[in-house]
Amino acid sequence: MAATLGAQPRQQRTWLRAPKFLLAIPSFVWYVFLFVVPVCLVIVNSFGRKVTGSPGKVDLSSPSLDRYHEVVSGSFASLLKQTMFTSILGTVLCLLISLPVAYLLAFKVGPKAKTAVLALLMVPFFANFLLRTLAWRIVLQPRGFVSNFLQSGHWFTFGQALRSGPIQILDTRTAVQIAIVYNYLPLMIFPLWVALDRVELHLREASKDLGANRIRTFLQVTLPLAGPGIVAGLILVFVPLSGDYVTAALLGGAKGNMIGAEVANQYFKAQDAASGSAIAVSLIISILLVLGVLATCFWFISKLLKANRAVAVVAR
């Protein structure tokens, strides 16, 4: 055994070993050509202007910030603001709903129940995203079963207000908000669950042994340790949500429109790639701004939690 191993010349093996970055090449190529290059093109195009009569072409002979000026001054600014509001509210709702679910999954349910709950969370993914969103049209339509049930009278007194007429939720911002939370919820639950699951039981036990109550343990041990997972969940939900336009296109009507639809609109209807690019870049900037604010908030919160620690950790 030892002899055969020794027979292999060590020098040659090192030479044969592939460089470490080799495995990264496929994803590197993929990202550069299908992400970095197109995004750069979009950024470049946003400084040009539309060529009348030839759809999709951009005139870059006199680059200017005119398209951005149009975005800021036109009706797009308010639409962008609305989109950001919808996305932030949607992300916060996702977090508030997911946190208890992930907590239960990680700490409170047995292994069998855990598998069952995880399976139930996965089941909706067997149906296509578009189909799941379209299904909300059936649920929310004014003459749909929910509306009919609410009006039928077999309902509690607090349904009185709803009974006055068919529910008018479809084709509004509310419909988009409901469906968006529904569509992105699993993207929040899974990272949160994984993060909480990693918080080892003995750390929480130690916290209790040292005299912290449940709330204190949650705030000062569990939550900080799960912090990276929460951040991942927030980003995973917020970023695609801001650019989502399928949900808005299917359920939003005129009122629930989102900025992503306007990008598509500029490219496909207005045949104006320059304006479409400028709106897209504005969206990216808005997302980065919100994420920047979020990062500052987290930094502040972690400072606050550390400052309120009952036990000081002294480094030796």
Footprint on this chain of another protein (rule: CB under 8 A): 23, 50, 52-56, 74-79, 81-82, 137, 141-144, 166, 168, 170-171, 252-258, 261-262, 265-272
Tell me whether residue 64 or residue 75 sits nearer to another protein (CB atom): 75
The distance of closest approach from Cβ of residue 19 to another protein in the complex, given in angstroms and rounded to an integer, is 13
The distance of closest approach from Cβ of residue 125 to another protein in the complex, given in angstroms and rounded to an integer, is 16
Among candidates 230, 130, 133, which has minimal Cα distance to 180?
Answer: 133
The distance of closest approach from Cβ of residue 53 to another protein in the complex, given in angstroms and rounded to an integer, is 8
Tell me whether residue 137 or residue 216 sits nearer to another protein (CB atom): 137
Tell me whether residue 105 or residue 175 sits nearer to another protein (CB atom): 175
Tell me whether residue 132 or residue 137 sits nearer to another protein (CB atom): 137
Tell me whether residue 54 or residue 64 sits nearer to another protein (CB atom): 54
Token digits of residue 90: 């949607």
Tell me whether residue 23 or residue 127 sits nearer to another protein (CB atom): 23
The distance of closest approach from Cβ of residue 309 to another protein in the complex, given in angstroms and rounded to an integer, is 31
DSSP letters, 108-163, are IS-HHHHHHHHHHHHGGGGS-HHHHHHHHHHHHSTTSHHHHHHHSS-S-GGGHHHH
Among candidates 190, 188, 184, 225, which has minimal Cα distance to 207?
Answer: 225
CA atoms of 226 and 196, how far apart (whole Å): 5
DSSP 23: G
Among candidates 86, 95, 291, 91, which has minimal Cα distance to 189?
Answer: 95
17 three-state secondary structure: coil
The distance of closest approach from Cβ of residue 104 to another protein in the complex, given in angstroms and rounded to an integer, is 28
Which H or E run contains 69? Answer: helix 66-73
The distance of closest approach from Cβ of residue 135 to another protein in the complex, given in angstroms and rounded to an integer, is 13
Which H or E run contains 59? Answer: strand 58-59
CA atoms of 275 and 48, how far apart (whole Å): 9
